[in-house]
Amino acid sequence: MKILVINCGSSSLKFQLIDSESEQVICKGLCERIGIDGSRIVYTPEGKDKITVETPMPDHNKAIELVIEALTNKENGVVASLDEIGAVGHRIVHGGEKFTESVVINDEVIKAIEDVSDLAPLHNPANLIGIKACMNAMPGVPMVAVFDTAFHQTMPENAYLYGLHYSYYEKYGIRRYGFHGTSHSYVSKRAAEILGKDIKDLKLIVCHLGNGASVSAVKGGKCIDTSMGLTPLEGLIMGTRTGDIDPSVVEFIMKKENLSVAEVNNILNKKSGVFGLSNELSSDFRDLEDGYLSGNEGAKRAVDTFAYRVVKYIGAYTAAMGGVDAICFTAGVGENSGFTRKIIIDGLGFIGASLNEEANTVRGKEEIISNPDSKVTLMVVPTNEELAIARDTYALCK
Ligand code: ADP
C-alpha cells in the first residue's frame, strides 16, 4: 500500500509518499509560503532531480491539489492515479491526554483535536486544515492522526505535574505533555533492534537534538520522562528557544523593556537559545561549530551552555531510571555533529561513558560511537518520523 504522509504547518506543508512494503520513499516534497506571495512546491520523485514549481497557493486546499498533481502528473508523477494511495497519515502536534496512540480520523477525532487546540494554538489548527484539505481532495481514503504527544502519555504523575496548584491541572490540563514523541518512539525501538535486545529490558535516553530539541527517558519501552512540557518551549536550550527558565524572567523583561506578553513570548521562542546566546551569530549548529573552532566567544558560549543542559538532563534521567544502558543521539545536530556530541559526552564521565573518537566522525548513519569498555553504549540513530507515521497509518488501515 502507498501511504501519503502529511506534516502541515500554518504556511507550509511537507509530504512524503511511502511504500508500506519496501518502506521506500517514492516522492517527497514541500509546499512553502501558503497564503503568502511567492509560494512554491518543491519535490523530488524517487530517482529524479528536484522539481520546483512557483505558483500561487492561496490556501491549503490548493496546496493539496498541487501535491496530488505532482504525484500523478504524466511527466514526473509517481502514481498512475489517486486510487493507488491507500491511506494518509497526518502528523498532529498535540493530542492532549485523550490520545495515547495513533487513531483513524473520524468526526469525533477531529472534534477532540479541536478541543485541545488551545494547548497548541499555532500547530493544531494548521494540522486540522491539512486533514480537511485531504478529505476534500481524497474522499473515502482513510486518514490516520499520529500525535507528537502520544508516546509521552506513559509518564507517571510525578513526572508530568508541575509544582502548580493542582486545580490548574484539573481545570485547564496544565501539565507536562512532551513533544517529538514519534521520534523518541522510533529511535528507542530502533536502538533496541541495533543492540539486539528486548526493549523491555533496556533503559534508554534519547537526545533529539535539532532546531527544536528534547531528551526522553525510555524505560522498558515506555517513556517515563521528557524535557518538553506544556509547550515545546521547556527543557533544553534550542536553536532559538530558551528551554528551562525562571518564569519570573518574563515579568522582569516586560517591566525593564516595556514589552507585552506577546513580545516577551516572541523573545523566548524566536530570539533566544543558541541564537541569542551567541549574540545572534546563528541558530544553525554548522555556523556555531565554525565559529567555535575559529575562536568566536559567542559560539563557544552558546554550544557549551547547550551541551551542559543536555548533560544535566542525562544525569537527571539516569537517576530517574536507576541507570542507563544506552544514550541515543538523533535529529539534525545529534545525527550530524560529532563536534557537539563530543562536548556533551565529555561531560558524561560520571556514568563511565567512553567515546570512540573515530566512530564519532559518523554523520547521518546508525553507528555505535562508544568504546567497547564504555559503561554505557553511545549511539547515533537517525530518526525517521515520516516512516514511523507511515507504519502506524498502515497498521491501522491495511
Ligand atoms: P528541525 O526538524 O527541528 O527543524 P533538524 O532536526 O532538521 O531540526 O535539525 C536542524 C539543525 O541540525 C540545525 O541547527 C543544523 O545546523 C543542524 N545540522 C544539520 N547538519 C549538520 C551538520 N553537518 N553539522 C552540525 N549541525 C548540523
Distance 245 CA to ligand 1 centre (A): 23
Read off the pTM: 0.95
CA-CA distance, 234 to 160, in Å (whole number)?
12
The pLDDT of residue 320 is 98
Helices (H) and strands (E) in the chain, counts: 14, 14
> Which superfamily does 2-147 belong to?
ATPase, nucleotide binding domain (3.30.420.40)
Q: Are strands 25-32 and 13-19 parallel, antiparallel or unpaired?
A: antiparallel
From 281, 333, 339, 381, mutation site for ligand 1 pocket: most ligand atoms within 8 A of C-beta: 333
By the 8 A CB rule, do 5 and 91 touch? yes
What sign has the CA pseudo-torsion 31, 32, 33, 37? negative
Compute, in angstroms, the gap from residue 138 CA to the centroid of ligand 1: 34
**CB count in 10 Å sphere of residue 262:** 7
287 lines ligand 1 (CB under 6 A): no
| Model confidence pLDDT, tens digit, residues 210-240 | 999 999 999 999 999 999 999 999 999 999 9
Give me 172's grid cell.
485547564
Q: Where in the chain is the domain with CATH 3.30.420.40?
A: 2-147, 197-380
Atom of ligand 1 at shortest range from CA of 283: 14
C-beta 333 within 6 A of ligand 1: yes
Residue type, 150: A
Q: From CA 345, how far away is CA 334, in angstroms rounded?
A: 12
How far is 212 from 179, CA to CA, in rounded Å? 10
pLDDT of residue 10: 83
3-state secondary structure of 28: strand
- One digit per residue, pLDDT tens: the chain, 398 residues? 999 999 998 889 999 999 999 999 999 999 999 999 999 999 999 999 999 999 999 999 999 999 999 999 988 899 999 999 999 999 999 999 999 999 999 999 999 999 999 888 888 999 999 999 999 999 999 999 999 999 999 999 999 999 999 999 999 999 999 999 999 999 999 999 999 999 999 999 999 999 999 999 999 999 999 999 999 999 999 999 999 999 999 999 999 999 999 999 999 999 999 999 999 999 999 999 999 999 999 999 999 999 999 999 999 999 999 999 999 999 999 999 999 999 999 999 999 999 999 999 999 999 999 999 999 999 999 999 999 999 999 999 99
Ligand 1 midpoint to CA 338 (Å):
12
For residues 172 and 23, what is the distance between their CA atoms, to the nearest angstrom?
Answer: 40
Q: CA 311 to CA 324: how far, in whole Å?
A: 13
Mutation choice for ligand 1 from 14, 336, 342, 362, CB with most ligand atoms inside 8 A: 336
Q: Is the CB of 368 under 6 A from ligand 1?
A: no
Residue nearest to atom 13 of ligand 1 (CA): 284
Question: pLDDT tens digits for 68-126?
Answer: 999 999 888 999 999 999 999 999 999 999 999 999 999 999 999 999 998 888 889 99
| 3-class secondary structure, 352 | coil
Helix (H) or strand (E) holding 45: strand 40-45
Residues annotated as catalytic (active site), given as ranges: 148
Q: Is 331 in the pocket of ligand 1 (CB under 6 A)?
A: yes
Q: Which fold has domain 197-380?
A: Nucleotidyltransferase; domain 5 (3.30.420)
Please give the grid coordinates belonging to residue 18: 511511502
C-alpha cell at 397: 488501515
Q: Concatenated DSSP letters for 201-230?
A: G-EEEEEEESSSEEEEEEETTEEEEES--S
Which conformational region is residue 20 in: left (phi greater than 0), alpha (psi within -120 to 50 degrees), or beta? alpha
Distance from C-alpha of 135 to C-alpha of 138, rounded to nearest angstrom: 5
User: To which H or E segment does residue 332 belong?
Assistant: helix 331-336
Cβ contacts of residue 34 below 8 Å, gap of 6+?
11, 12, 13, 57, 58, 59, 60, 62, 63
Query: Ligand 1 centroid vs 392 CA: distance in angstroms?
Result: 26
For residue 340, give the nearest of 303, 300, 293, 378 by alpha carbon: 303
Angle between helices 181-195 and 385-397 (to 10 degrees): 90
Whether the CB of 364 sits within 6 Å of ligand 1 = no
Q: Is the CB of 284 under 6 A from ligand 1?
A: yes
Residue to probe by mutation, ligand 1, list 91, 184, 284, 341, most atoms within 8 Å of CB:
284
Q: What distance in Å separates the CA atoms of residue 230 and residue 238, rounded to the nearest whole number?
A: 16
E strand or H helix that includes residue 175? none
27 DSSP assignment? E
State whether the beta carbon of 210 lies less than 6 angstroms from ligand 1.
yes
Q: What angle do CA 250, 252, 253 make, to 5 degrees?
A: 70
Cβ-contact 205, 328 below 8 angstroms: yes
Measured between alpha carbons, how far is 59 from 12 in angstroms, rounded to an integer?
10
